[in-house]
Amino acid sequence: MNLGVLRFDRTAALIDGRVGIDNVNVINVPGGKAGVEGFMNGSLDAADIPFARYVFWKFSGHEITAIPVFTDRLFQHSYIYTRTDTGIDGLGDLRGRRVMCAPSYFSTPSFWHRAMLKEEHGIEPHEIEWFAAFAESGGMRLPDNVRVTHAPASMLGLERLLDGTVDCLMTARTAMVPEGHEHRVKRVIADAMERQLAWVKRTGYFPNLHVVAIHKLALEARPGFAEDLCRAFDQSKNLAYRLLQDERMTSLPLMRAYLDDTVSIWGDDPWPYGLEKNRAVIAQFLAYAHDQGLVDRRLAVDELFDNQASGHAFKARMTPGCITGFMDGGWAPVPSP
For the stretch 51-63, pLDDT in tens is 999 999 999 999 9
Query: What is the spatial distance between Cα 145 and Cα 265, in angstroms, rounded to a whole number?
Result: 40
Query: What is the spatial distance between Cα 34 and Cα 113, in angstroms, rounded to a whole number?
Result: 24
In the chain the domains, ranked by start, together with CATH numbers, are 2-73+207-331 (3.40.190.10), 77-203 (3.40.190.10)
Q: What is the DSSP letter of 156?
A: T
For the stretch 251-297, pLDDT in tens is 999 999 999 999 999 999 999 999 999 999 999 999 999 999 999 99
Lowest mean pLDDT among 107-116, 269-278, 325-334: 325-334
Mean pLDDT of the region 198-207: 93
Query: What is the spatial distance between Cα 81 and Cα 170, in angstroms, rounded to a whole number?
Result: 7
Q: Helices in the chain by DSSP H: which ranges?
A: 12-16, 32-40, 51-59, 108-121, 158-162, 192-203, 216-221, 225-244, 255-266, 275-291, 307-310
Q: How far is CA 8 from CA 55, 58, 104, in A?
A: 22, 25, 22
Q: How far is CA 68 from CA 51, 281, 287, in A?
A: 11, 12, 18
Query: What is the spatial distance between Cα 203 and Cα 240, in angstroms, rounded to a whole number?
Result: 26
253: left (phi over 0), alpha (psi -120 to 50) or beta: alpha
Q: What is the pLDDT of residue 116?
A: 96
Mean pLDDT of the region 299-309: 97
For the stretch 121-167, pLDDT in tens is 999 999 999 999 998 877 899 999 999 999 999 888 999 999 999 99
